[in-house]
Amino acid sequence: MRYKLTMRIDIISVVPELLESPLAHSIVGRARKKGLVEIHVHNPRKYGIGPRHNVDDYSYGGDAGMVMMIEPVYKVIEELKAERDYDEIIYMSPDGEVLSQGIANELSMMQNIILLCGHYKGIDHRIREHLITREISIGDYVLSGGEIPAAVVTDAIVRLIPGAITDETSALSDCYQDNLLSAPVYTRPVEFNGWKVPDVLLSGNPVLIQKWQDEQALERTKRLRPHLLDK
Ligand code: SAH
């Protein structure tokens, strides 16, 4: 396996509370505890403007809604860049490239990345023009802030870091990893309410089981995500 230092993800957010739980539990929480990834959240409010440490202001042109100001975000990014090099400085944006397993795979190979969360009406466009290297969306709909999208991107990345998932092969057999959806999975009991687990899974024959799983994966992909088969 390729050697790499512990990956580091810095998330910039004016509502860091929104990120607490998703980054503290389950696979992401355990990966942090195991030292597989370092995740740090930074609030631009510490560089907020004026006595009230404002981070947003009215938009020029009079559109409704507040806009995140450049200076506090600029200062956080500069502070981070002074400490280390970043592979990407990513703005979470509804008009960015749409997140996919391929992008998650790519990002999981990186050493240091920044995820910038917008809030309110968005961020001063000069941040996007001059400081950001990439923009990622989690889908064609609008959320209230970039925190949930940043948590989604972080989760998608971290579960790919070797060791994050106890069963090493588990992430590889996930949907999308080879442009195929996953086969259905079952656990005990064998029968519930008269609903049975497919016989082949109880056969104990690994060749037959693999064949069934491959057929299921192909059938589900054809039916649910046919475009994956064009790739
Ligand atoms: N007025 C903006 C939306 C602002 S929503 C527009 O129409 O494009 C506030 C913030 O939420 C954005 O700055 C962005 O960081 C985040 N956000 C909203 N929807 C998102 C999505 N689908 N993917 C990623 N980030 C999103």
- What pTM was estimated for this model as a whole? 0.95
Q: What is the DSSP pairing of strand 191-192 with strand 195-196? A: antiparallel
The CA distance from 71 to 8, in Å, is 24
Protein residue with its CA nearest to atom 17 in ligand 1? 146
| pLDDT at site 231 | 79
Nearest in space to 1 (alpha carbons), one of 161, 125, 213, 230: 161
The distance from CA 196 to its chain's CA centroid, rounded to whole angstroms, is 35
Is the CB of 145 within 6 Å of ligand 1?
yes
Is the CB of 66 within 6 Å of ligand 1?
no
Is the CB of 37 within 6 Å of ligand 1?
no
Using one digit for the tens of pLDDT, what is the confidence trace for 56-73?
999 999 888 999 999 999
Instruction: Check residue 2 and give left, alpha or beta (phi > 0: left; psi -120 to 50: alpha).
Output: beta
The pick from 98, 131, 142 for probing ligand 1's pocket by mutation, whose C-beta has the most ligand atoms within 8 angstroms, reads 142
Q: Is pLDDT above 60 for 1?
A: no
pLDDT band at 140 (very low <50, low <70, confident <90, very high): very high
The CA distance from 13 to 29, in Å, is 19
The CA distance from 153 to 197, in Å, is 34
* 33-37, 58-62, 70-74, 175-179: least confidently modelled range: 175-179
Note the helical H segments in 49-146.
Answer: 70-83, 101-108, 125-130
Q: Is pLDDT above 70 for 23?
A: yes
pLDDT (average), residues 195-212: 98
